[in-house]
């Protein structure tokens, strides 16, 4: 699946961008994208909602964006979950700072607005952002809403921890009971200040209990990609059956319409040595007839196939046209060699198909080289013996009859015609090459030519 293309509308201008990276970080999502001139853009989201897009030549050090790109849970822009989150060809409106702040005030609570403002310090003046959050604090303080004001203060503690005003207010005696609740990460905060406790939990997500609470929180807030990113990170760090089953359950629950091969291939990139994942991915490849990927996976991990998968694999190779990509894989000959151990007849049939296809575009020397892996394993191969015989006869003008018969065995009818025609030229009285030519032209559906050679064959027999 390729990287997603989207558009930014800036006034009357429409800019096409291609997604490069998608990052889940705290309550935000950050999309890194480039336009056709390699100009970088960042699309910023709060939870599931788009906020704004920004053109950026660089990222300010120690900004929220820098931390998100460094510490967030990243997906490639081509990931199927990213494409599920961002529909194809979606339009994103570029907002001015005034438009953005108006949207925040109309769509979000003051506490959410304060938190979102902290996301913007790579694009707007940090001093101006601080003053906007400070004004929200004063609004609550004037109204006597001490805890509501303290929640804003906690946002500022993370945003500007060394600011003298923030230090002074956070150490006031009147907020001591709140301060202790936050220091202890009280369970009550999931109800009274979920914005804070989610941030704290995200940073402490390695803790199994905290991890589970975060998942439950994402489920409640209908943020499936956040949960997927969380479990996916666990698989990357410590692949286990428990996390793998959890990831599968999460995908089945929230992403039923997403291609499972894409999901497992992404997981395989993170945890390639996890055996259950290898087997599930192989089964999906076999079910979808993706032989190239299946053979490559088998070869790379030296997988031992259960009987059912081995039978499926063999049937697919027997029935499928062997394409150019498959023939260019050294893994294919290795797989055929292992197949000779259990099913020599089927292996020979598959090998015959491969050689037939190779002969349409390669000479005998190339084919012998292609077969060398099998020869090195000292397997008795009738196909190889016939190809070696063809190599021996190819330069012998007196052996064109035998060479033509071998070309016919490999379904190379045009080459067989050349050989039998040469033989007929050498000996006009011999009816055998004529009979062959009649037969081959008939198989090529060239009935007139076939009849002519058939009549010539009868005439030669009478003589």
Q: Give per-residue pLDDT as tens, 164-173.
A: 999 999 888 7
Cross-strand partners of 341: none
Q: Which of 113, 115, 92 is nearest to 103 (CA)?
A: 113
Token pair of 191 as six digits? 């109800």
d(CA 318, CA 339): 13
Contact 282, 297 (CB under 8 A): yes
Q: For 217-240, how does the pLDDT look when each residue is reduced to its tens digit (9 = 90+)?
A: 999 999 999 999 999 999 999 999
Question: Given a cut of 60, is residue 1 above it in pLDDT?
Answer: no
Which pLDDT band holds residue 2 (cuts at 50, 70, 90)? low
Average pLDDT over residues 311-326: 74
**Over the chain, what is the mean pLDDT?**
90
d(CA 64, CA 32): 14
d(CA 439, CA 427): 19
pLDDT at 121: 94
Cross-strand partners of 29: 24, 45
- Domain residue extents for the chain: 1-95, 292-394, 396-463
Token pair of 279 as six digits? 């087997």
Give the CATH class of 396-463. Answer: mainly alpha
Which pLDDT band holds residue 322 (cuts at 50, 70, 90)? low
Which pLDDT band holds residue 131 (cuts at 50, 70, 90)? very high
Least trusted range by pLDDT, from 85-89, 260-264, 454-458: 85-89
pLDDT at 395: 82
Question: Given a cut of 70, is residue 257 above it in pLDDT?
Answer: yes
DSSP result, 80-101: HHHHHHS-TT-EEE---HHHHH
Q: How far is CA 284 from CA 260, 294, 378, in A?
A: 8, 9, 33
Cross-strand partners of 414: none
Alpha helices in 221-329 (DSSP H): 224-237, 241-254, 260-270, 275-287, 291-301, 307-319, 324-327
d(CA 96, CA 83): 27
d(CA 185, CA 160): 21
Contact 295, 326 (CB under 8 A): yes
Dihedral sign computed on CA atoms, order 299, 300, 305, 310: negative
Phi, psi of 239 (to 5 degrees): -60, 125
Contact 195, 115 (CB under 8 A): yes
Cross-strand partners of 75: 22
The pairs formed by 13-22 with CB atoms below 8 angstroms and a separation of 24 or more are: 14/91, 15/41, 17/41, 18/77, 19/77, 19/78, 19/82, 19/86, 20/76, 20/77, 21/69, 21/74, 21/75, 21/76, 21/77, 22/74, 22/75, 22/76, 22/77, 22/79, 22/82, 22/85, 22/86
Cross-strand partners of 46: 28, 49
Q: For 47-71, how does the pLDDT look when each residue is reduced to its tens digit (9 = 90+)?
A: 999 999 999 888 898 999 999 999 9
Q: For 180-213, how does the pLDDT look when each residue is reduced to its tens digit (9 = 90+)?
A: 888 888 889 999 999 999 999 999 999 999 999 9
Question: Given a cut of 60, is residue 12 above it in pLDDT?
Answer: yes
Token pair of 21 as six digits? 């990276």
Average pLDDT over residues 383-409: 89
DSSP result, 111-178: HHHHHHHGGGTTTS-HHHHHHHHHHHHHHHHHTT-HHHHHHHHHHHHHH-TT-HHHHHHHT-GGGHHH
* Residue 138 vs residue 185, higher pLDDT: 138
């Amino acid at each position: 699946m390729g990287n997603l293309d989207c558009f930014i509308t800036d006034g009357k201008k429409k800019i096409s961008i291609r997604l490069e990276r998608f990052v889940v970080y705290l309550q935000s999502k950050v999309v890194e994208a480039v336009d056709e001139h390699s100009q970088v853009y960042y699309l910023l989201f709060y939870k599931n909602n788009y906020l704004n897009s920004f053109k950026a030549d660089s990222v300010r050090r120690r900004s929220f964006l820098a931390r998100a790109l460094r510490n967030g849970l990243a997906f490639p822009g081509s990931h199927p979950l990213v494409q599920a989150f961002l529909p194809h060809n979606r339009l994103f409106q570029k907002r001015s700072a005034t438009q953005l702040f108006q949207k925040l005030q109309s769509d979000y609570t003051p506490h959410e607005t304060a938190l979102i403002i902290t996301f913007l310090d790579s694009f707007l003046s940090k001093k101006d952002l601080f003053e906007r959050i400070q004004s929200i604090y004063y609004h609550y303080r004037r109204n006597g809403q001490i805890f509501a004001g303290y929640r804003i203060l906690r946002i500022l503690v993370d945003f500007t921890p060394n600011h003298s005003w923030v230090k002074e207010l956070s150490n006031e005696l009147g907020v001591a009971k709140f301060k202790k609740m936050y220091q202890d990460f009280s369970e009550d905060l999931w109800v009274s200040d979920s914005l804070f406790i989610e941030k704290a939990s995200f940073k402490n997500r390695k803790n199994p209990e905290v991890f589970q609470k975060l998942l439950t929180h994402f489920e409640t807030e209908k943020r499936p990609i956040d949960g997927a990113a969380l479990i996916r990170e666990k698989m990357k760090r410590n692949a286990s059956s428990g996390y793998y089953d959890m990831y599968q359950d999460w995908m089945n629950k929230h992403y039923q319409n997403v291609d499972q091969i894409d999901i497992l291939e992404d997981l395989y990139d993170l945890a390639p040595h996890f055996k259950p994942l290898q087997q599930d991915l192989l089964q999906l490849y076999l079910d979808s007839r993706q032989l190239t990927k299946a053979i490559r996976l088998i070869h790379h991990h030296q997988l031992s196939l259960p009987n059912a998968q081995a039978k499926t694999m063999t049937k697919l190779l027997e029935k499928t046209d062997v394409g150019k990509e498959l023939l260019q894989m050294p893994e294919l000959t290795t797989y055929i060699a292992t197949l000779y151990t259990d099913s020599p007849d089927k292996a020979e049939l598959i090998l015959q198909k491969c050689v037939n296809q190779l002969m349409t575009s390669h000479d005998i020397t190339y084919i012998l080289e292609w077969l060398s892996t099998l020869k090195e394993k000292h397997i008795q191969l009738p196909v190889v013996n016939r190809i070696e015989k063809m190599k021996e006869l190819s330069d012998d003008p007196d052996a064109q009859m035998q060479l033509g018969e071998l070309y016919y065995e490999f379904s190379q009818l045009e080459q067989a015609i050349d050989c039998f025609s040469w033989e007929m030229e050498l000996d006009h009285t011999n009816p055998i090459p004529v009979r062959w030519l009649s037969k081959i032209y008939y198989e090529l559906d060239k009935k007139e030519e076939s009849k002519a050679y058939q009549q010539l064959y009868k005439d030669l027999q009478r003589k």
